[in-house]
Structure 1
Amino acid sequence: MERAVKTITLLVVFVASQQINCQEAILQISNGIKDREYCIVYNHSWTPLAQTLDAAIQFPLVNLMSTMLCNGSGVSPDVVRGKAVVVMRGYCNFSQKALIAQSLGATTLLIASNTTLITPSTNESEYAKVHIPLALMRLRDLLEAQQVIGEGMKVKLYAPAPSKIDPSIAVILLIAIVTVALGGYWSGACERDRLSKGSMMEVGEDSKADSGELSLYSPLKVVFFVAMMCGMLVLMYFFYNVLVYIIIAIFCLACASALFSCLDAVMEKIGCGTVSFSIRNWNFSLRSLLLAAVCISIAVFWAVNRNEDRWIWILQDLLGVAFCLNFMKTISLSNFKICVILLSLLLVYDVFFVFITPFFTKNGVSIMVQVALGPDASGEKTQGNMVAIPAEPQAPSEKLPVVMRVPRFSAWAQNLCGMQFSILGYGDIIVPGLLVAYCSRFDVWINSTKKIYFVSCCIAYLLGMILTFVVMLLSGMGQPALLYLVPFTLITSAVVAGCRGEMKHFWAGTNVYEVLDSREPLLPEGRTNCSVGGERC
């Protein structure tokens, strides 16, 4: 059961990191004594706004909600001249309302809406005719302002320029490299323990069953595994609203198991003792029972509060780190050949579902992005040119919990329009992490005291992540991280093996020892055969 949960979960964790490029701004309403700020949606290519509150010009607000302003009849120019006006949404398009308000002498047009706020747009030929700012606001925000501010309302509209280099990128980078390094080190430490106990037997399908590890050693199985991933992603795209709850349940089980494994290893390392007892020939460990209760409680707590965006991301990231660490320790690639096949196929998979599938989907959004962010991530559905904000509070949409999420600290409107996150898929950690783990185990096999393969692969992963973020910032759109991580890590590992003259054994991995007739420990002093390259670190 545990293996099935891990396998199914792994099929849905390979999603690329994306960011939402919103067109949200801030509306300040005040009367000189009280003031409030509200979220508004505008089109920066139509009506640019000031970037700071001090630079914004303040105008008196005239309430014309009794009209849709689809024509100028019944509205005196003297009432609106030199002022901001607010009208109701409907009956005519945004440009028509703006042109009428402009002809009456208004300086700003606010459109109150009781439906979803979308970025106001029109035909390109109409943009040049409108010279006043236009924005949509929630009707409930205007009604609240009338109660709080009262008479004499004045407004300012401004849209601070978001920082491209957000501190959240550094946090995600730190999470990724630390997780990969710890996972690789843990895998190598487990390998060392097995060798010291003389438990390494010839490689086969069930060779690691006793240790609870799963090994990918057949190219055909790797191809089948990637094909299953493609099928799972397509199913998630078409049946998201049903499958998302199944994935959430599987995620809770997998994270509880992973967290237990991580905490148990830490307690074992620090020498925390345990008390065992038996009930009807069943042996129980008090430490294990307590840890299991804690881990299950944490997973359940996350499940109950998973939509609390303002703080639950911290717990989700902690569970994600435990999940990735346990996977890197549990899933082992038997040789470099399997690493090359798996990582290359996943590279093609990532690029195809990010860059190619938008040409086949109805809304022009990649399958990967829509599955990663959920079907309600409208900001991505139009490639960042449009946003949609609910006019009324709504139940939060469910999202796949298979990404590291860090709020964008420089997102100035996040408290008004909703929090914005930088995300990184677990797959961008696990996939290269499996290669890092293999390099760590190979260091153990050749008794490399300086861990040359492990350190080199970790450095390559760090450089690949940095390049991913650089390209993302320069292009202004999310990137399939495996496009950069896979070449960096594979090429670096191959170069190190080639320079050390160990490519033959690095390529064959554990399979090279199947020809050994002896069942003695594989590498009692780091190697059984001096021809395994020699210690050259």
Structure 2
Amino acid sequence: MAFPGLRLLLLLLLLLFVIAAGADDAKSDDERAPKSESCNNPFQLVKVDNWIDGVEGNVYNGVTARFGSLLPQKAENSVRTPAIFSNPAHCCSNSTSKLSGSVALCVRGGCDFAVKAEFAQSGGATGMLVINDSEDLFEMVCSNTSETNISIPVVMITKSAGEGLNKCQVYFPLDLQMVDCELSIAVEILLYAPPRPLVDFSVAFLWLMSVGTIVCASLWSDLTTPEKSDERYNELCPKESSNAETAKDDFDKEIVNIDSKGAIIFVIAASTFLVLLFFFMSSWFVWVLIVLFCIGGIEGMHNCIVSLTLRKCQNGGQKTVSLPLFGEVSIFSLVVLLFCVAFAIVWAATRQESYSWIGQDILGICLMITVLQLARLPNIKVATVLLCCAFVYDIFWVFISPVIFHESVMIAVARGDKAGGEAIPMLLRFPRLFDPWGGYDMIGFGDILFPGLLVSFAHRFDKDNRKGVSNGYFLWLVVGYGIGLVFTYLGLYLMNGNGQPALLYLVPCTLGVTVILGCIRGELKTLWNYGTDSSLSTEPSEV
């Protein structure tokens, strides 16, 4: 590869960033929140259209409370209403401001949310907006013993949204005291809650990217191996000898065969690191992950571009230049490296932009293709240990961890809840095209790499044993993986957008298919012990 020891870095990325698939970056209804007969509304995401002195402002997002009336789904079914700041601002007593026929604007704190709503309703308000003291949308619920009789909609908005509506700074958030506003500013708002679509077509593109990555990684050696190649053209550190056999041996030494012990340690270490991310994730640590991702993405992208180019243009890398640290290197390889570095830097600088998912997915796919060339499963015995451990890992950190940590650790890390909402980059994502709330559907690298290791093994097994398409294993595992992803997203939608442990569906659809086909064909023993007596199994290192 381009840098000595880069193999270890790529495998470290594989080890540390095994994040859930099917994650949805929008918050959904929380069934654990307290409910009562008068406080059992589902949480609705709300659009807050606003006008300041007749000029339309930015559209803000909010979330409704467990109590109060529900909002219409369409803007045309709602009413444009004046908004008045309550006095006192916390709405914990009768307001001296005239609220009749208006939406009351209140700040969080001072008393229960239901108490605020009762005072706003008694003052004649037609609704209430609660301004949070942070950028989160807190779920407003009733106390365990309270019964409410609130018939107006109650919505929470973020601190920045409240500042956007509070143009004349009519209150100080710290002491909750009202001040005079010299300018007469009219604020009007319109509240509605458009539903999320049951199915968004973005998952189809994510499905294609995931399946395509595994297929390309499995077939990569067939797609990129020229009839006669000079290994130095794909190297920034040339070998001591350009002999073809020596180059092949060097490549084999870079391959890591995962053994059963390594598979178990792998999952334990990934779990440990996931917990550390959950507790200590911060904005600076996200930058560390971004740098690591960029390094791996640069190497992966460089490897993919050079391999594909030299497949067709074998003489394209013959011109070389001598560098102080690297010695004699191919000019073509160096130019490609500089391009990849520039690509990664531009992505990192623009990662908050709406189009940044394109660069992230390109770097991620190239990284995973390269990792799947370096890490290999020697047989089904090791695959069973690794995938079964990953199967339990995924289910535990998505479904069982909320019992211990009060939220899903894996989904919280994937969304970046502890890092100001910036998700870690070790995900493929695609924007939800027809969702009024926007956001992204995501799939973690682990949900591609784990099954990808098995699919790559199936292709090598078919090739070594000269099996055809129909009587081999590769095609059936690709189909099984695709069906498993369909089940994953079906479960995502049936569970109201809550993140799913994708390996719950992918492992049975890949490993299960392999075992069933092996039993039917009488080849299970061969698959189980494959490579144990082969000299090839001793050439690569083990992990």
Shorter-chain TM band:
0.7 to 0.9
Task: Provide the rounded CA distance (Å) in 1 between the counterparts of 2:17 and 2:338.
Answer: 26
Q: Which amino acid aligns with 1:450?
A: V
Task: Provide the rounded CA distance (Å) in 2 between the counterparts of 1:329 and 1:150.
Answer: 67
Identity %: 27
2:77 match: secondary structure: coil
Instruction: Go from structure 1 to structure 2 and tell me whether the alpha carbon gap of 1:134 and 1:506 turns closer, same or farther (over 3 Å shift).
Output: same
Pairing 1:174–2:208 present: yes
2:73 aligned to which of 51, 57, 81: 51
Task: Provide the rounded CA distance (Å) in 1 between the counterparts of 2:310 and 2:153.
Answer: 64
2:531 match: secondary structure: helix
Matches within 5 A, 1:388-537: 398-414=422-438, 420-450=439-469, 452-476=472-496, 477-514=498-535
Structure 2 unaligned spans of 5+? 29-43, 170-180, 229-243
2:166 match: secondary structure: helix
Question: Who is 1:388 aligned against?
Answer: none
Instruction: Go from structure 1 to structure 2 and tell me whether the alpha carbon gap of 1:500 and 1:208 turns closer, same or farther (over 3 Å shift).
Output: farther
Instruction: Go from structure 1 to structure 2 and tell me whether the alpha carbon gap of 1:274 and 1:43 turns closer, same or farther (over 3 Å shift).
Output: same
Deviation for aligned residue 1:99 = 0.8
Is 207-216 or 175-184 further displaced after alignment? 207-216
Instruction: Go from structure 1 to structure 2 and tell me whether the alpha carbon gap of 1:145 and 1:162 turns closer, same or farther (over 3 Å shift).
Output: farther
Deviation for aligned residue 1:316 = 0.5
Q: Which amino acid aligns with 2:490?
A: V
Is 403-412 or 271-280 further displaced after alignment? 271-280
**CA contact under 8 A between 2:429 and 2:441: conserved in structure 1?**
yes
Q: How many pairs does the alignment contain?
A: 481
Pairing 1:342–2:386 present: yes
2:194 aligned to which of 140, 160, 171: 160
Question: Who is 1:381 aligned against?
Answer: none
Matches within 5 A, 1:37-186: 37-43=58-64, 45-47=66-68, 48-64=70-86, 67-72=89-94, 74-75=96-97, 79-113=98-132, 115-116=134-135, 117-123=137-143, 126=146, 128-137=148-157, 138-144=161-167, 152-186=186-220
Q: Which amino acid aligns with 1:360?
A: I
**CA contact under 8 A between 2:379 and 2:531: conserved in structure 1?**
yes
Deviations for 1:400-422, whole angstroms, at most 9, x for unmatched residues? 211112222334244xxxxx222
Instruction: Go from structure 1 to structure 2 and tell me whether the alpha carbon gap of 1:461 and 1:94 turns closer, same or farther (over 3 Å shift).
Output: same
Q: TM-score w.r.t. structure 2 length?
A: 0.79
Q: Which amino acid aligns with 1:221?
A: G
Pairing 1:290–2:335 present: yes
Deviations for 1:198-220, whole angstroms, at most 9, x for unmatched residues? x999xxxxx96434542325322
Question: Who is 1:221 aligned against?
Answer: 262
Deviations for 1:136-160, whole angstroms, at most 9, x for unmatched residues? 343212134999x975543321010
Q: Which amino acid aligns with 1:171?
A: F
2:328 match: secondary structure: strand
Question: Who is 1:239 aligned against?
Answer: 280
Instruction: Go from structure 1 to structure 2 and tell me whether the alpha carbon gap of 1:81 and 1:229 turns closer, same or farther (over 3 Å shift).
Output: closer
Pairing 1:332–2:376 present: yes
Give the CA RMSD over aligned residues: 3.4
Pairing 1:13–2:17 present: yes
Is 82-91 or 442-451 further displaced after alignment? 82-91
Instruction: Go from structure 1 to structure 2 and tell me whether the alpha carbon gap of 1:114 and 1:507 turns closer, same or farther (over 3 Å shift).
Output: closer
Q: Which amino acid aligns with 1:474?
A: L
Deviations for 1:338-391, whole angstroms, at most 9, x for unmatched residues? 212211111122222222222222xx12332232222437xxxxxxxxxxxxxx
Deviations for 1:193-242, whole angstroms, at most 9, x for unmatched residues? 89xxxx999xxxxx964345423253223223333323332333343336
Deviation for aligned residue 1:182 = 1.1
Question: Who is 2:34 aligned against?
Answer: none
**CA contact under 8 A between 2:224 and 2:308: conserved in structure 1?**
no
**CA contact under 8 A between 2:398 and 2:499: conserved in structure 1?**
no
Question: Who is 2:233 aligned against?
Answer: none
Task: Provide the rounded CA distance (Å) in 2 between the counterparts of 1:374 and 1:15.
Answer: 12
